[in-house]
Amino acid sequence: MIEVNDIYKSFGDTHVLKGISTVFDKGKTNLVIGQSGSGKTVFLKCLLGLFSPDKGTISHDGKIYSQLSPKDQRNLRQDMGMVFQGNALFDSMTVEGNVMFPLEMFTKQSHSEMQDRADFVLKRVNLIDAHKKYPSEISGGMQKRVAIARAIVMNPRYLFCDEPNSGLDPRTAIIIDNLIQEITKEYDITTVVNTHDMNSVMEIGEKIVFLKNGIKEWEGTKDEIFKTDNEAVTSFVYSSELFKKVRQLYIGERD
């Protein structure tokens, strides 16, 4: 569980986060949504400990990151897995090398043990045939799955995903969304996903936090988001023609 308590973050005169408080539960897929520039990425980087909030606290299962010693911060980091927007796979390593990297860095396992673990997670994301290929030799969807495999190889307690569907076709995006949700349930981890993809909200949004201009404008579930009267949320959710039609049908059915 991650508890965020009244955090503020500024860069010079730009106030990016303005007093956000929320709780992300374990075993749930938590979504942070909002327009570009709403502060989602900075918020996620604060959760990861890459940025420290100017004010307020973030606690990971009771441990307040900013109050930990550097050694404990490093240990906590090893409990976190991150899927970056652009995947951030190491070009010079094969798929297997990328997945084994955290194990090589932080464990004392033998090479065969690490290989077994890498094979296990690659199987989990349906990528066992690609383990000797380089990231440039596989598709965007496969790269995303490698990034997920790398993020979960250390058995993390927290999984963070920044725009996991960007650049993917709708079908592959759904596969990735479902994979993230399955892994969250299977490993009982706290997952936070940054997205502005409404399909993801519909697919996996068990808890949704809506940010606008650095403020938490709304929070709720995927069912509640369609019933809310919050103007900022509705103008974001129903910005596409498709969702406008979905809403008309929904209102029509309700009436």
Partner 1 sequence: MNYLASIGSYAIMIKEVFRKPTKWSIMKSLILKEIDELIFGSLGILIFISFFIGGVVAIQTALNITSELIPKNLVGFATRQSIILEFAPTFCSIIMAGKVGSYITSSIGTMRVTEQIDALEMMGVNALNYLVFPKIIALLLYPFLIAISMYIGIFGGWFAGVFGGFSTSADFVEGLQLDFIPFHVTYAFIKTLVFAFILATIPSFHGFYMKGGALEVGKAATTSFVWTSVVIIILNYVLTQLLLG
The residues of the shown chain that bind partner 1, judged by CB under 8 A, are: 48, 50, 73-74, 77-78, 80, 82, 84-91, 101-102, 104-106
In degrees rounded to 5, what are phi and psi of residue 231? -65, -40
Minimum CB distance to partner 1, residue 172 (Å): 20
Minimum CB distance to partner 1, residue 54 (Å): 20
Minimum CB distance to partner 1, residue 78 (Å): 6
Sign of the CA dihedral 192, 84, 35, 55?
Answer: positive
* Between 109 and 228, CB nearer to partner 1: 109
* Between 80 and 233, CB nearer to partner 1: 80
* Between 71 and 254, CB nearer to partner 1: 71
Gap between the Cα atoms of 199 and 251, Å rounded: 19
Question: Cβ contacts of residue 1 below 8 Å, gap of 6+?
Answer: 23, 24, 25, 26, 60, 61, 190
Minimum CB distance to partner 1, residue 176 (Å): 17
Both structure tokens of 98? 């990328």
31 secondary structure, DSSP code: E
Minimum CB distance to partner 1, residue 146 (Å): 12
Pairing of strands 63-64, 55-60: antiparallel
Sign of the CA dihedral 47, 220, 250, 36?
Answer: negative
Minimum CB distance to partner 1, residue 84 (Å): 5
* Between 34 and 81, CB nearer to partner 1: 81
* Between 34 and 102, CB nearer to partner 1: 102
CA distances from 62 to 19, 189, 191 (A): 20, 15, 16
Radius of gyration of the chain (CA): 19
Minimum CB distance to partner 1, residue 222 (Å): 28
* Between 1 and 88, CB nearer to partner 1: 88
**How many secondary structure helices (H) and strands (E) does the chain include?**
10, 10
* Between 80 and 237, CB nearer to partner 1: 80
In degrees rounded to 5, what are phi and psi of residue 225? -65, -30
